[in-house]
Amino acid sequence: MGKGTSLVYCDHTDIGRRRSNNQDSKAVLPPSNAQQYRTRGWLFLVADGMGAHAAGEMASAIAADRVPLVYEKTAQRSPPLALRHSIEQVNGEINAKGEGTPEFKGMGTTCTVLALLPRGALVGHIGDSRAYRLRGRMIEQLTRDHSLVWELQSAGVQDAAATAPKNIITRSMGPHPRVEVDIEGPFPVEDADVFVLCSDGLSGQVADEEIGLLAAELEPRESAAALVGLTLIRGAPDNVTVIVARAGVEEISKTSPGDEPWPMSNQPTAQPQAAVLPWRMLGVAAVSLFIALLVSPWSDVPGREWVAATIGEKLMHPISVLASGGCVLVFLTTLLIACIGFLPAAPASVRVLMPGKQIGKGPYRSYDCTPSENLLEGIVTSIESAADGLAGLDREKTVGVLLSVRRHVAEHQFHEAVVAAAEAIKIYTKTVHHSRSGDTTRSRPAQP
């Protein structure tokens, strides 16, 4: 069983080029020891807030702060159950905050969470932020966008999808007290698999194949910076956030038939009050039997002669028979109910996920990100366009680097071409950061 110590990651967020504040949030919860890795694994989260003023920023911050905390506190549950519970609980907290404060009413956030466990990669998801798995030359989208465009595409209405607004999402955390959470996986993990989580500020500007290319050819630190930088080069109309995590030999997923199944629903709570019913039925049975004996035609109850004289002996006998028969019937019925109630209850069924099985329908889409002249040319063209706005020395350095990119491509040295393209992106990114007032970029370096 792996210890989860060979994973390397880098997370990066940027305000973008057109926004006045950053409504994206991110979180990483690493395991502190092998036992924590076995029970809850690594946790990565990206959230993209929505709402006027500071509402979206607050919603995403609550998600990034609270979801990992609730997930960790409920680690005694199965990982898929703990992941679903943590997102649902925090959804309620965001909703309560919005409903209780007029300026925050209706605030919401996307939330995409990746839990990397010994059994594989598990994803919890709401909204249109994304989680990808990159293996070799193929990048797979593990989540589906909860967006109008995605729904139209899934319905086969391609013309409407092409013209539909890209910023309309159909599901998010916060606006409603309850929300449906997508749980996907666990997806098998192999050595050198790369996972990418990002907000739509990145996926809206950088093609899936380009994400896969940069994440495959560069270390997590360099690829995260290059992905954010390429978004800035292309205008970055939205906040942009990305987490790149590369698994190692310690994160290779292993399952065996002897592994414990994962419960997918809560254990039913005990209901001690249900035991009261059999005793009540037993009491009714006893009373019914007693009354049957009293009104029986063969009973010698005092006063029977007076009743017979009053209504007549001919009526007395059938009335006694009917009354006693009815009481006997009640006695037998309630006695049967009481006996059934005292039988041990059958154990309530709990849905489980067996080892090696998956939930959800992901991966939803896959793309070939094999390095090619066309794929790199799209990146180079974007950098060239942006370089026209650079100052003299930076522009000259960028042009020189791009010449080396094209030279490497011509010689089919694609790794070297990607490394050089990342260097050109870095030049442009530095100029953007220098032009800003204040610290608008927050990043965390790669972890060993």
CATH architecture of 8-256+366-444: 4-Layer Sandwich (3.60)
Higher pLDDT, 54 or 204: 204
CA dihedral 196, 202, 206, 210 (to 10 degrees): -20
Per-residue pLDDT for 267 more than 80? no
Closest CA to 59 of 179, 144, 204, 196: 179
Q: Exposed e or buried b for every residue in 31-62, given b needs 16+ CB within 10 A?
A: beeeebbbbbbbbbbbbbbbbeeebbbbbbbb
Judge if pTM exceeds 0.85: no
Higher pLDDT, 134 or 296: 134
The H or E element containing residue 59 is: helix 55-73
pLDDT digits (tens, 9 = 90+) for 10-41: 999 999 999 989 999 999 999 999 999 999 99
pLDDT digits (tens, 9 = 90+) for 72-118: 999 889 999 999 999 999 999 999 999 998 889 989 999 999 999 99
User: Tell me, what's the pLDDT at 337?
Assistant: 77
Higher pLDDT, 315 or 426: 426
CB 127 within 8 A of CB 146: yes
Lowest mean pLDDT among 148-162, 292-306, 395-409: 292-306
pLDDT digits (tens, 9 = 90+) for 50-80: 987 689 999 999 999 999 999 999 988 999 9
Percent above pLDDT 70 for the chain: 83
User: What is the distance between the alpha carbons of residues 239 and 18, in angstroms, rounded to a whole number?
Assistant: 8
One-letter amino acid at 180 equals: E
